[in-house]
Structure 1
Amino acid sequence: MIGDDIEGLSWQEFEEYIRDLLEHHDFEVQFRKVFRSPERGYQIDVVAFRRGLCLCIDGKKYGRGRHRPSSLKEQAKLHYERCLAHERAFGIRSIPVIVSWLDDALMVENGCIFVPIDRLNDFLLNLDAYLSDMGF
């Protein structure tokens, strides 16, 4: 599916596309990872490992809406909390990434890196430079 048109994908297929692209870039991938902390359970869409680096990725396939900016901030906050729980549970630094369906700017919000799906390949190709530039 790498390189295919992604317009018609369901949200499940969108997550699978993200997984496939990470595997294409030689990441070891855990898909729809479920884990528990003493307080509650969590799920992360894609957890990807490569050379001591752990990306915790949440795929967001949503449309443009008038409440979208506040929704992005809230989703970033929730995903950041999931990633902190992942760090505590597994003892590995977990970098929170939200891959969005829409062509937004690459940005950091509430501790999460937002990457538009059409820029994910470039983000992965130049990951070290992006993380350095963004303070990760």
Structure 2
Amino acid sequence: MQGLNRFILDLLRLSKDQEEIALEKLVLDRDLSESIVLKLLQHLRGELGAVIQVKDKEVYVPKATKMKLVEKALQESIDLDEIIKTLHWRDFESFCLRVLDYHEFCTTLNLHFSINKKRYEIDVIGIRRQLILAIDAKKWKTGRSSALKVMVRNQIDRCKALAQSLGIPKIRDQLNLTKDNDISIIPMLVTSKMYEIAIFQRVPIVPFFKFNQFLTDFHLYAEAVYKIPSQYTIPRPRVSKPLTEFFKSAPKNLRHPV
């Protein structure tokens, strides 16, 4: 359909920070008549259903289903770099997750956890067999090598903390891991910039446009990348001591006559 590709990019761009787009905005931005805009919307709704909603001169692109519009853009052979430019950084994280889904990883978005009273977040996690890919997803306008080095070190620290957190049942439940899993964690970065695949301090730095290739050819990188073994152990149940034993072993200022 004529003008469809440009219209899809407009929908993605205008819904970057909000779900609602004024119909008038689409008309003015594309210098199209309202009837043509409505025909384009009707065409997309026919293919994508509830991904796009129109009500009271407002167009809604719900964040929960926005990735289907991104997939439609890919099907229409719209340039990947152009698609990424229209995305919010949260959408970019979801885009990374969809690629992992395609490669049959079990996926988790925005895992939050605490170790030693310090809070951590890992943007995207993909689990397959005995590996956890722990991804820091970076949507940048520019990407300096000095910044990349700092981010690699930070991601290694997050992954070491994640390895410790796997002893927490709640975290293992979130990741759908059993106590018998022998897991290695691989820290990595996926960036929006058009670099080649690089390895820094044994951490892969993968441009999004080569993310699919990296996962397909992962066996070529497997020996070169940093793997953090899980430190998960089954916590032993606490044995309550009788009060007499407690006070005998306590410091003098805590002892109490029994």
Q: What is the TM-score with the length of structure 1 in the denominator?
A: 0.89
Quick check: 1:78 aligned with 2:154?
A: yes
Q: CA deviation at 1:80?
A: 0.8
Deviations 1:6-26 (A, max 9, x none): 331111111000011101110
Alignment of 1:32-43 (within 5 A): 32-43=110-121
Structure 1 contact 45–57 (Cα < 8 Å) conserved: yes
Q: CA deviation at 1:111?
A: 3.9
Query: Greater strand share, 1 or 2?
Result: 1
Report what 1:11 is aligned to: 89
State how far apart, in whole Å, the 2-side matches of 1:55 and 1:39 are.
24
Structure 1 contact 62–101 (Cα < 8 Å) conserved: yes
Runs of 4+ residues over 3 Å off in structure 1? none
State how far apart, in whole Å, the 1-side matches of 2:90 and 2:164 are.
27
Deviations 1:5-60 (A, max 9, x none): 43311111110000111011100001100111123010000111001111000100
Letter in 1 for 2:146: S
Q: CA deviation at 1:108?
A: 1.6
Report what 2:200 is aligned to: 109
Q: What is the TM-score with the length of structure 2 in the denominator?
A: 0.49
Q: CA deviation at 1:125?
A: 1.0
Structure 1 contact 55–96 (Cα < 8 Å) conserved: yes
Pick one of 166, 169, 188 that aligns with 1:97.
188
| Structure 2, gaps ≥5 residues long | 1-69, 75-79, 168-182, 227-258
Q: Secondary structure at the match of 2:184?
A: coil
State how far apart, in whole Å, the 2-side matches of 1:44 and 1:64 are.
22
State how far apart, in whole Å, the 2-side matches of 1:127 and 1:24 are.
15
Letter in 2 for 1:77: R
Quick check: 1:122 aligned with 2:244?
A: no
Q: How many residue pairs align between the two structures?
A: 133
State how far apart, in whole Å, the 1-side matches of 2:126 and 2:134 are.
7
Structure with the greater relative contact order (CA < 8 A, sep ≥ 6): 1 or 2?
Answer: 1
Report what 1:50 is aligned to: 128
State how far apart, in whole Å, the 2-side matches of 1:135 and 1:11 are.
26
Query: Which structure: larger Rg?
Result: 2
Deviations 1:117-136 (A, max 9, x none): 0000011111122223x245
State how far apart, in whole Å, the 2-side matches of 1:135 and 1:56 are.
12
Q: Secondary structure at the match of 2:146?
A: helix
Report what 1:63 is aligned to: 141
State how far apart, in whole Å, the 1-side matches of 2:186 and 2:209 are.
20
Query: Greater helix share, 1 or 2?
Result: 2
Structure 1 contact 99–117 (Cα < 8 Å) conserved: yes
Which sits farther off after the overlay, 84-93 or 29-38? 84-93
Percentage of pairs with the same residue: 30
Cα RMSD between the aligned structures? 1.7
| Structure 1, gaps ≥5 residues long | none
